[in-house]
């Protein structure tokens, strides 16, 4: 059922009808004995004015809320096969991951190997996040949602030819840990995501990679002493 939002209260259509009935039957508008024609017409005029004001308020509220309707849409391109380079950074850290065939490596950290399932989680969950509710269209509020250049986590995807596929900025909510904020660079709008994925975009090499573990089967065994 549709509702008219007045501040923090909502008045439904049924409540509006109830309000009209109360107004019609109470106070100076209550008819006793024989109705005076002019008084009745005056009452009807005021009821019509009140009805017009409420309808106008309803339409105005609907227009304001139309920009906050939830519409789910993908944040990142669906064709992950075109992704060659993933750049992640914040104001404090940065990491670049590149594809080589079917494997991934951390640029500038040859001593590290990718942690098991780390990329699978990123590709299957983080890059499939969806944006939902439109939160703001005002760039001056980016810092409020931690999606400005200094506070947000940047995610930039490049193709094999070096073309930018998308550049987004994610921000964490201080009150709702199950969702994040996201905006696309070059666009003013900030959206709420359908799930929290910012923790999967940590821009530090040791989050993505680890030093190879020594193979104990190939380790050289110490010589066994033999009694003369």
Share above pLDDT 70 across residues of the chain, in percent, rounded to a whole number: 68
- Distance from C-alpha of 58 to C-alpha of 43, rounded to nearest angstrom: 22
pLDDT higher than 70, residue 62: no
- Distance from C-alpha of 183 to C-alpha of 190, rounded to nearest angstrom: 5
Tens digits of residue pLDDT in 28-43: 444 444 456 566 666 6
**Pairing mode, strands 103-106 and 113-114:** unpaired
Mean pLDDT of 11-32: 52
pLDDT higher than 80, residue 22: no
pLDDT higher than 90, residue 56: no
Domain boundaries, the chain: 3-65, 71-210
The sign of the dihedral angle between the CA atoms of 142, 87, 163, 122 is negative
pLDDT band per the 50, 70, 90 thresholds, residue 178: very high
pLDDT band per the 50, 70, 90 thresholds, residue 51: confident
C-alpha closest to that of 172 among 139, 197, 138, 189: 197
What is the reported pLDDT for 46? 73
Q: What is the mean pLDDT of the chain?
A: 81
pLDDT higher than 60, residue 20: no
Q: In which element (H, E) is residue 39 found?
A: helix 37-65
8 Å CB contact between 94 and 203: yes
């Amino acid at each position: 059922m549709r509702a008219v939002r007045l501040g923090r209260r909502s008045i439904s259509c049924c409540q509006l009808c109830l309000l009209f009935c109360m107004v019609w039957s109470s106070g100076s508008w209550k008819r006793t004995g024989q109705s005076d024609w002019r008084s009745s017409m005056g009452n009807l005029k005021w009821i019509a004015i009140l009805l017009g004001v409420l309808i106008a308020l309803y339409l105005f509220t609907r227009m304001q809320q139309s920009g906050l309707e939830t519409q789910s849409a993908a944040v990142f391109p669906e064709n992950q096969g075109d992704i060659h380079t993933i750049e992640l950074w914040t104001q404090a850290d940065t990491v670049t991951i590149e594809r080589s065939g079917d494997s991934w490596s951390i640029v500038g950290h040859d001593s590290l190997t990718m942690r098991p399932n780390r990329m699978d989680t990123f590709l299957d969950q983080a890059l499939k996040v969806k944006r939902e509710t439109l939160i703001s269209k005002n760039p001056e509020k980016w810092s409020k949602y931690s999606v400005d250049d200094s506070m947000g986590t940047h995610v930039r995807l490049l193709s094999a030819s070096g073309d930018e596929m998308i550049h987004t900025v994610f921000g964490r909510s201080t009150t709702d840990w199950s969702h994040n904020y996201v905006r696309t660079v070059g666009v003013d709008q900030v959206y709420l995501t359908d799930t929290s994925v910012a923790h999967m975009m940590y821009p530090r090499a040791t989050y993505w990679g680890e030093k190879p573990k020594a193979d104990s089967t190939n380790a050289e065994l110490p010589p066994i002493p033999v009694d003369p």
